[in-house]
Amino acid sequence: MVKDIIAVAEEKMQKTVSVLKQDLLTLKAGRANPTMLDRIQMEYYGSMTPINQVANISAPEPRMLLITPWDKSSLKDIERAILTSDLGLNPNNDGSVIRLMIPELTEETRRDLVKKVKKYGEESKVAIRSVRRDANDKVKALKKDNAITEDELKSAEDLIQKKTDVYVKEIESIIDAKEKEVMKV
């Protein structure tokens, strides 16, 4: 029972870290990265669809994304989705493909990005601590029901705390690495 609770908690912590990594990939750090468009959805045949499911997205140059839709009639919709997104990029539509130029980051933009990165990191740490609290509550409930002893409760709480510390440290190293990447000129 206790092992199951700890295993589920660790799995949730791993998912939190992978979501953080995915979120950080969508931030523009001065380089063109096709994953920047992963969150952007467009209206496609009556339903919201991610752009990467209706077009091929490539980075032919370090600061350019090339979007080649499989259905040319969706060009305008892709362009509209990019314009209304929070990316702040202007698509260049030539009738068959869309080119996105990634501007050079200014010092102010870099600082704003670092703030965003830190915010994502803090949200992830809060999520990890929430998983820890839930796991501790479940273990305490087992103790209350006399399913485990006081010693088992203490060792389970210690193990949950150690797992929490490992994942918080991992989040901090991911955030530090992304911060260095963003601030690198």
Domain residue ranges of the chain, discontinuous segments joined by +: 1-28+106-183, 34-101
Tell which CATH classification among 3.40.50.2300, 3.40.50.300, 1.10.132.20, 1.10.3720.10 matches the domain 1-28+106-183.
Answer: 1.10.132.20
Report how far residue 180's alpha carbon sits from residue 185's, in angstroms, rounded to the nearest whole number: 10
Q: pTM of the prediction?
A: 0.71
Total H helices, total E strands in the chain: 4, 6
Nearest Cα neighbor of 167 from 3, 8, 15, 27 is 15
Assigned CATH for 34-101: 3.30.1360.40
Express each pLDDT in 40-50 by its tens digit.
Answer: 888 888 888 89
Per-residue pLDDT of 80-135, as tens digits, reads 898 888 777 888 888 889 998 887 778 888 888 889 899 999 999 999 999 999 99
Alpha carbon separation from 184 to 76, 86, 88, 109, 177 (Å, rounded): 35, 23, 21, 12, 11
